[in-house]
């Protein structure tokens, strides 16, 4: 699925526990990072190999980082640098697997161009695939992304935090204030 869908999924997972900003970032990134194996496309652009224009992209995307061992590596990294270490590592592992799930249900290319990936590489070359996979631009993905977007807005209004805080806490506070001015303060903020 698209990086935006993966990102919003990671954000939703990051909000299932009370986490600080750093842990929320780790969990959110875990849902996006697997697609960094698609960055081979940059090498392809530099090389401009006319025989196979997307050689590196095709060789590594959905191979290098779409496997169990990358998920474990991410979880170990969260154990090492997270604040609530075990909680962060567990949610990182979950967010990573939700990325794989999203890819396997809804990342089909044109026609019968199914996405598959070798989850157990290097121990097994078996390619996991689901034949019910819907297209990358299918309506299902629009609904999922829309729902995740709505959840992001709701969490910002309710909890007073959004992914904008990764860039600027001040901009995040302003965003939350706009929502609360528009929709009223959430119940627990009312002073009786
Ligand atoms: Zn992916």
Output the CA 186–ligand 1 centroid distance in Å.
35
75 within 8 A of 92, measured Cβ to Cβ: yes
Let me know if 184 is exposed, middle or buried by CB neighbors in 10 A (0-12, 13-18, 19+): exposed
Output the CA 34–ligand 1 centroid distance in Å.
6
Output the CA 17–ligand 1 centroid distance in Å.
24
> pLDDT, tens digit, for every residue of 47-105?
776 677 777 777 777 778 999 999 999 999 999 999 999 999 999 999 999 999 999 99
- pLDDT category at 122 given cuts 50, 70, 90 is confident
First to last CA, the chain: 45
Output the CA 189–ligand 1 centroid distance in Å.
39
96 within 8 A of 70, measured Cβ to Cβ: yes
Output the CA 105–ligand 1 centroid distance in Å.
11
More confident residue, 176 or 111: 176
26 within 8 A of 93, measured Cβ to Cβ: no
Tokens of 117: 């990936």
The per-residue pLDDT for 70 is: 95
Output the CA 106–ligand 1 centroid distance in Å.
10
pLDDT beyond 70 at 190: no
Mean pLDDT of 120-130: 91
Output the CA 5–ligand 1 centroid distance in Å.
11
Rounded to an integer, what distance in angstroms lies between the CA atom of residue 40 and that of residue 82?
29
The per-residue pLDDT for 50 is: 67
Lowest pLDDT segment from 38-42, 124-128, 154-158: 38-42
Distances (CA, A) of 117 to 66, 98, 142: 7, 14, 23
pLDDT beyond 80 at 22: yes
Tokens 């970032």 correspond to 25
Most confident listed range (8-22, 50-64, 178-192): 8-22
The per-residue pLDDT for 42 is: 77
Output the CA 65–ligand 1 centroid distance in Å.
8
- The pTM assigned to this predicted structure is 0.89
Output the CA 180–ligand 1 centroid distance in Å.
35
Coil, helix or strand for 128?
Answer: strand
pLDDT beyond 90 at 187: no
pLDDT beyond 60 at 191: no
Output the CA 71–ligand 1 centroid distance in Å.
12
Rounded to an integer, what distance in angstroms lies between the CA atom of residue 92 and that of residue 165?
19
Q: What percentage of the chain has pLDDT greater than the value 70? A: 97
Output the CA 104–ligand 1 centroid distance in Å.
9
99 within 8 A of 65, measured Cβ to Cβ: no
């Amino acid at each position: 699925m698209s990086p935006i869908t993966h990102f919003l999924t990671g954000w939703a997972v990051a909000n299932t526990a009370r986490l600080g900003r750093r842990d929320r970032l780790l969990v959110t990134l875990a849902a996006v990072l697997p697609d960094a194996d698609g960055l081979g496309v940059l090498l392809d652009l530099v090389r401009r190999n006319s025989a196979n224009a997307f050689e590196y992209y095709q060789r590594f995307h959905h191979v290098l980082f779409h496997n169990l061992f990358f998920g474990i590596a991410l979880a170990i990294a969260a154990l090492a640098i997270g604040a609530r270490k075990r909680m962060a590592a567990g949610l990182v592992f979950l967010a990573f697997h939700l990325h794989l799930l999203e890819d396997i249900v809804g990342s089909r290319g044109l026609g019968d161009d199914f996405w598959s990936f070798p989850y157990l590489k290097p121990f097994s070359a078996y390619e996991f695939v689901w034949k019910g996979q819907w297209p990358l631009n299918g309506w299902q993905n629009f609904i999922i992304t829309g729902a995740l977007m709505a959840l992001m807005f709701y969490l910002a209004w309710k909890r007073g935090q959004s992914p904008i805080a990764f860039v600027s806490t001040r901009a995040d506070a302003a965003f939350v204030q706009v929502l609360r001015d528009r929709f009223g303060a959430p119940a627990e903020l009312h002073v009786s």
